[in-house]
Structure 1
Amino acid sequence: MLKPEIKVLDVQGQYRIHTEFYRSDTAENTIILVNGSMATTASFAQTVKNLHPHLNVVLYDQPYAGKSKPHNQHQKMLTKELEAQMLLELIEHFSANYLMSFSWGGTAALTALACTPRRIEKAVISSFSPLINGPMRDYLERGRRCLADCNRTQVGNLVNDTLGKHLPSLFKRFNFKHVSSLAEHEYAQMHFHIEQVLTCDQPCLLDTASGIEIPVLFINGAWDEYTSASDAQHFVQSIENSQFVRLENTGHFLDMEHKSASHISKAAMLGFLQPAHAEHLAASR
């Protein structure tokens, strides 16, 4: 696979962010990808394969995570507003005109989009919902307890038994190893994030999203009971130019779950972001 251009950038005057830029000589557009919680740039390996070389692709790790972690001091928790401001700065730096988020990365992504960044023309929000339904509330409540206790085995098992239940066994092993070996400050950050989510009024994300004028595609897995396709459709109230795709036979982790899921996820994203190019690819098969 193509090696990315790696830079550590100073952002917001107080954080250092590890970035990876997958450049394509044939691409006219650049997309920036926003991680879910407890995830790193490595989580987007399959997504990069699906989008490159059709697009230049930018990945980054939050200050508390992944390869950004050694460059920061972790003295205070990051709010979704601060994560959104960092994202806006990275959008400008890389001249990104598309944005894609996964899972809880949708919170920072929608908060950033609500600031109407001048460069962003389209956005894809995957595996995200504005509602905390029963299964998600149960997951968050259980997560809050084992994160507060720093119980690594419980955290790893919880993610695999819920959001990751449809992942292949090999991915589950990788997932458990990653999630159960995070630093204490990463667990504290996730705990802080859960507290924010659980104390937020149900309509707050819909309020945040109101006024977003660019086209936004929401992608949810048909098997995903935590961020369900039906719950995601509540965004139509707030985002006039919204579209929705429900990927059959997929759960929360979409393109990571099996080859067919990867194929239909790629088709949905490129069909939305670059419809003419996607049609050309389909015709050439």
Structure 2
Amino acid sequence: MSVEKLVLPLPGGLKVHVEHHCFDPSFETVLLVNGALATTASFGQTIRYLGERLNALCFDLPYAGQSRQHNACDYALTKDDEIDILMHLADRFRPAYLLSVSWGGVASLFALARGCASVRRAAIASFSPFLNAAMTDYVTRARDHIAAGQNLQAAQLLNDTVGRHLPRIMKLYNYRYLTRLPRDEQDQVAFHVDQILAMKPERYLDEFRRIGCDVKFVNGDLDEYTTAADVRRLGDYVRRAEFATIRGAGHFLDLEGRVQQEQMRTVLCDFFCGERETYTPHACIANSSKPQRLPFEVPALS
């Protein structure tokens, strides 16, 4: 297996650190999309087990991880910017599959609705656009802690809520990462949460009807924040939607234990590599008119 690392310039002037994990030149490629606060490092286990059948492409957003050193810190990355980055990566590398986790599902679904013609199947893990009381409480408190520079409290909150089912070592990694988060990255995360809270599903869900590829939503049965029941409501909007539930898993799915990881490996490999109906890229654009920008007002950066 070889890993190609590059710094990719974007049309808007920013740059992203990209890693292409090539296990076999004959394999097709899956594009991996992080959630909030995560970097390429969080996909280590996922890349290993998907490498049995697929090559993997992952990246850090401009303000995070190994991309951060290549960009100035005086900008706020909007959700529309994230969508544009995904579409640029998809156009450049032509991945056959996409896997997003947590809040990476927002940009992924919009990108699939607006383009990404090479993507035949997409797995959207631990995501729901319907913010229930538990998720609203968590992201609001996390935003407030991070905006105030209270990284210790933010780390403890993460491990006590969405991360409660993680093993001890993963909770320690979360603690170390969040307590060392730079000030400009704290501001970007607070800004990101404000955007999420401002988005109203009823104002954008119809755009998902334009997604033409197969989409599998994967959630843990112990996840109180993006529940398997809530996400099934997306079946009314995503035409080729499927659903899978990982038993004994919370929000972080394959990071929570070997049993959960084996279930995820089976679900993803069967979905991405199993025989299916032929995909027609033209079907992914039901309306060829230029998409509107996301339907919310961007708040001021904290």
Q: Do the two structures share a fold, i.e. TM-score over 0.5? A: yes
Please classify the TM superposition score into its range, dividing by the shorter chain length: over 0.9
* AA at the equivalent of 2:120: E
Query: Is the CA contact (8 Å cut-off) linking 2:87 and 2:111 kept in structure 1?
Result: yes
For residue 194 of structure 1, report the CA deviation from its aligned partner.
1.1
Q: Distance in 2 between matches of 1:178 and 1:107?
A: 23
Q: Distance in 1 between matches of 2:203 and 2:152?
A: 33
Structure 1 residue 242 corresponds to structure 2 residue 241: yes
* AA at the equivalent of 1:141: T
Q: Distance in 2 between matches of 1:240 and 1:119?
A: 18
Aligned twin of 1:155:
154
Q: TM-score, normalised by structure 2?
A: 0.88
What secondary structure sits across from 1:109 in the alignment? helix
Aligned twin of 1:8:
7
Q: Deviations over 1:47-106 (max 9, x none)?
A: 101111411100100000000000000211111111111111111221211111000000
Aligned twin of 2:210:
211
Structure 1 residue 121 corresponds to structure 2 residue 115: no
Q: Distance in 2 between matches of 1:272 and 1:70?
A: 36
What secondary structure sits across from 1:249 in the alignment? coil
Moved over 3 A (4+): none
RMSD: 1.4
Provide structure 2 residue ranges, at least 5 long, that are not aligned to the other structure. Answer: 277-302
For residue 180 of structure 1, report the CA deviation from its aligned partner.
1.8
Provide structure 1 residue ranges, at least 5 long, that are not aligned to the other structure. Answer: 278-285
Q: What pairs with 1:3-152 in structure 2 (closer than 5 Å)?
A: 3-25=2-24, 27-152=26-151
Query: Is the CA contact (8 Å cut-off) linking 1:4 and 1:21 kept in structure 2?
Result: yes
Q: TM-score, normalised by structure 1?
A: 0.93
Q: Distance in 2 between matches of 1:205 and 1:101?
A: 19
Q: Deviations over 1:129-187 (max 9, x none)?
A: 01000100110111121122011101111111111100000110011101221111111
Q: Distance in 2 between matches of 1:25 and 1:3?
A: 9
Query: Is the CA contact (8 Å cut-off) linking 1:130 and 1:234 kept in structure 2?
Result: no
What secondary structure sits across from 2:18 in the alignment? strand
Q: Distance in 2 between matches of 1:274 and 1:238?
A: 25
Q: How many residues are paired up? A: 276
Q: Distance in 1 between matches of 2:257 and 2:88?
A: 34
Percentage of identical aligned residues: 37
Cα distance, 1:230–1:205 mapped onto 2, change above 3 Å? farther
Moved more, 126-135 or 194-203: 194-203
